[in-house]
Amino acid sequence: MPGPEYVFRHPLALLRVSAGYSQTELASLVAEVHERLGFGVIGSYRKRVSRWESWQVTPSIEAQYSLAAIFGVSREQVLMLGWPRWLRLATSDAGSSVYPWTPEGTVESLCAVSQQTHEAPSVFLPISGPDIVSLADSWQKAVTGQSPVLSRSGKPSDPRVVDAIESRVQGLCELVVSVEPATLVAAVRGELHLVTVLLRTTGYEHQTGVRLYVLAARIANAYAELMESIGDDHRSQSYQLVAIRAATTAGDVQLAATLMSELVGLHLASREPSDALALADRTQAVARGQSPRFTALLYARRARAHALLGDTRGGQQDLETAFGALPEGRGWRNADGEHLLGAVDPGRMSLTAGLVWYHLGRPRRALEYLAPLFSGSSNPAGLAYPQLRAPRWALHALDAYLAVAQLDMALNTAHWVLDLVGNLPPAVANQYRRRFVRHNTAPAARELLARLTEQTAPDTSSDRPIDH
């Protein structure tokens, strides 16, 4: 059964709702198809579907074949990807891995991602396993190949429009530092829609095309960061993949590699360390000569992947390499233009070190790094973009405190986060509740649970398809 990070809807539930079936209706349909395919008679019980969707039971292979027949997925894909990953092939996300690495393919992927809708945030990544590795291989070939000519015939875009968008996007990135992430979702998505329309319908010469594709990459990445901050890793990956395509199309190798490193982090958050290492390998092959900060971040993520795999030696070696990649006296401030991409600061490096030790079963050692990040005065350790990252990052400190039975310190950390950011996104607030509900016999825990109810933000993250 999945661990605490799986607190959202099962991908089968998302797929079922998007197809318009109730649990009872899907159970009846599965029973009908199961018999029609020659697998025998099974009961059409709603409870069976409910157990599948609550991560309690994995369907039999015959039941999976029946579901696959209903949703148009081949048996070969069911066997290759396994449960529940093959379910993503039945969603609109399936196409995000098949667009060609061309300007036309990038624009199509931008249009496709804007059509995605999700009933609720989900930690289920739409692309993983062999598919994400294959996509990374194709990206590596594309990003190291010859950059395409990006001119397009038609009524030319006014350069002043591009100037204005660049200015607004920079402003949005700066707002991330101090504004509740959910309030920026609509604005960021609107900017991406505008850039997509310009790329698809107007004419431009090559240099303007480069600027537009770089803008698309930066905006899609900002949206991915916002989605991750509110607990929707599903949409975060979809937009991050689009950002990588746009940067690759623009011929910006540094930006593309940095975005790929962010994808490494997303797969770590979803507890997919093998995928993360595979992505990191391709990124390292492309990113030779990147800044020391980028090298540090990539090795820090490799260290966490090794730790998740139980590789103590690999985790420690990569962690030492990460800290050693930043020469003393160079400072932590990122170079101009890096903004929140690959931001490396003392807080992030300490967080990674804490996570490595926590994953290796050493929660007390982990707290030596994690505790200072989430206590004392407002943002004492200088966490970059605390509004965006602190709520989810602090969950790791809570887990470490609870692992060593320090409930009071876990409660203090949760209160610190609420004091820092105010309201929590609903999906993130649920993660806090799940960690403390088992302690609700303690008055202090009940007090925090009541405060979480008061300080849960309205859900403003729902997407509606944009008509291009």
Q: Where are the domains of the chain?
A: 11-90, 92-288, 346-468
Higher pLDDT, 117 or 259: 259
Q: Which residue, 8, 451, 458, is CA-closest to 228?
A: 8
Dist. CA 155–CA 208, nearest whole Å: 13
pLDDT tier, 457 (very low <50, low <70, confident <90, very high otherwise): confident
The percent of residues above 90 in pLDDT, for the chain, comes to 50
Q: Is the peptide bond before 100 cis (omega within 30 degrees of 0)?
A: no
pLDDT tier, 121 (very low <50, low <70, confident <90, very high otherwise): low
Q: Is the pLDDT of residue 204 over 90?
A: yes
pTM reported for the whole predicted model: 0.79
The two structure tokens encoding residue 397: 């400190």
pLDDT tens sequence across 338-378: 444 445 677 788 899 999 999 999 999 999 999 988 876 55
Burial 87-108 (b: 16+ CB within 10 A, else e): bbbbbbbbebbebebebeebbb
Mean pLDDT of the 233-237 span: 87
Outline where 85-128 has alpha helix (H): 103-114
**What value does the mean pLDDT of the chain take?**
84
Mean pLDDT is highest, among 133-137, 144-148, 310-314, for 310-314
CB 435 within 8 Å of CB 401: no
Mean pLDDT of the 218-234 span: 90
11-90 under CATH 1.20.120, yes or no? no
Higher pLDDT, 99 or 441: 441
Q: Which residue, 344, 340, 332, is CA-closest to 301?
A: 344
Neighbouring residues of 267: CB distance < 8 A, sequence distance ≥ 6: 125, 128, 132, 273, 275, 276, 279
Question: Poorest-confidence range of 159-168, 177-186, 216-225, 428-437?
Answer: 177-186
Q: Is the pLDDT of residue 5 over 50?
A: no
Mean pLDDT of the 433-451 span: 94
Q: What would the CATH number be for the domain defined by 346-468?
A: 1.25.40
Which pLDDT belongs to residue 85?
76
The percent of residues above 70 in pLDDT, for the chain, comes to 85
Which pLDDT belongs to residue 29?
93
DSSP 3-state of 456: strand
CB 284 within 8 Å of CB 180: no
Neighbouring residues of 167: CB distance < 8 A, sequence distance ≥ 6: none
Dist. CA 179–CA 192, nearest whole Å: 19
